[in-house]
Structure formats: C-alpha cells, structure tokens
Amino acid sequence: MSKIIFITGLEETGRDTIVEMTIGGSKNSLMDFKHVSFEKLGISGLKDELSDTVRKARDGFYKNVEREVSDALRSGLSVIVEGPITMKTENGYLPLVPKEFFEAFSPDVIMLFETPHERGNSRIDWKQQHINRAYAAMYASLGGSLLKIIEVSKGEVKDALRECKEVMSSVMGKGV
C-alpha cells in the first residue's frame, strides 16, 4: 500500500539536506517511493507578492505538486513530499499548500523540522516557525495524519537524521 510523508520546516533547519541524506542512505531499504521536492518543481521562482499573476503561478505550482503525487500513487509508489509549508511575504505569511491537498491525500505523517529557540540565532524567523507549527497541526487534523516535530539543534544534525530515518522506516514499513 502506498504511503505519503509530507516533510516541511524552515530552510535554516537543514530540512532538505537531512531528507536527502536519509533518502540517499535508504534507497535499498525503503519501499519504492518518489521524492517530490518543491525546490525541484520551482518554488524558488515564486515571488512573495499578492498579485493575480503570482497567485496564478502559485496555483500552477500546486497543480504540479498534485500531479506528481497523483501519478506516483497511481504507479503504486509511496511519496515523500518535501518543501516549505508557508512563505514569508512583505505583508504576512502565505500558506503554500492548500488544505485541499491534505484533505485529498491524507499524508500518513507530517514531519516538521524546527530549530530550538537559541539566543543569537538571528537567521531564524521565529514567527514563521510558530506559524508553520500551527499550519502543520491544522493540516494533520484535516488529513488524520500523525504530526512529528523534529528539533534540529546546532551541531546535532545526527539526532535529527536518526529521527527522520526512524519515522520513514516506520511509515514505509522497512528498516532504514
């Protein structure tokens, strides 16, 4: 049976690197899966404005994500969807994935990478991290998904990598 894991968190958590390391070290032990990366689908090309043109671009981006996930599921593959859940704009924070995605696909788990609140870490947008948590919790409730929060501390990436592997292994049904 196909599974879906949705992985999100601020870029500064190293989410994409941890996911790549987990997937790279697990190719032979995880069931067949497709990795749908927002970065590879062009999320970085979206602007943070609220114009109709940008909204259409976001809608097109979401349709690409939806198509990739649907195609993989039809092929019997499990799916790891990975990317930011919100985008900071000059006017506020914008959800990048609509609730309909979570209602339609009901991911088995939503994995949220966070960094602990540390003094002197000015690169982290703490408001956005809290907003991401709120969206992740809401989306988990919409889809009946497990919400797993993984803290990534400076210099402790190994712990986050271990937790990520454990969750993927548990959900995908094979040892990592």
Q: Given a cut of 70, is residue 25 above it in pLDDT?
A: no
Residue 17 tokens read as 């690197």
Give the CATH number, domain containing residue 116: 3.40.50.300
Residue 44 sits at the vertex; the CA angle it makes with 11 and 66, to the nearest 5 degrees, is: 95
pLDDT of amino acid 145:
95
pLDDT band at residue 12, thresholds of 50, 70 and 90? confident
Mean pLDDT of 114-143: 86
Mean pLDDT of 15-28: 77
Q: Which domain holds residue 25?
A: 4-172
Q: What is the DSSP letter of 90?
A: T
Burial of 99-138, coded b for 16+ CB within 10 Å and e otherwise, reads eebbeebebbbbbbbbbeeeeeeeebbeebbebbbebbee
pLDDT tens for 58-115 read: 777 788 889 999 999 999 999 999 999 988 877 788 888 888 899 999 999 999 999 8
CA proximity to 151, closest of 111, 109, 114: 114
124 against 138, higher pLDDT: 138
pLDDT of amino acid 45:
54
| Average pLDDT over the chain, rounded to an integer | 83
Rounded distance, CA 174 to CA 176, Å?
A: 7
Q: How many domains does the chain have?
A: 1
Task: Tell me if residue 82 falls in helix, strand or coil.
Answer: strand
Which regions of 10-108 does DSSP assign to beta strands (E)? 33-37, 78-82, 86-89, 92-95
Burial of 141-174, coded b for 16+ CB within 10 Å and e otherwise, reads eebebebbebebeeeeeeebbebbbebbbebbee
Mean pLDDT of 130-148: 95
pLDDT band at residue 49, thresholds of 50, 70 and 90? low
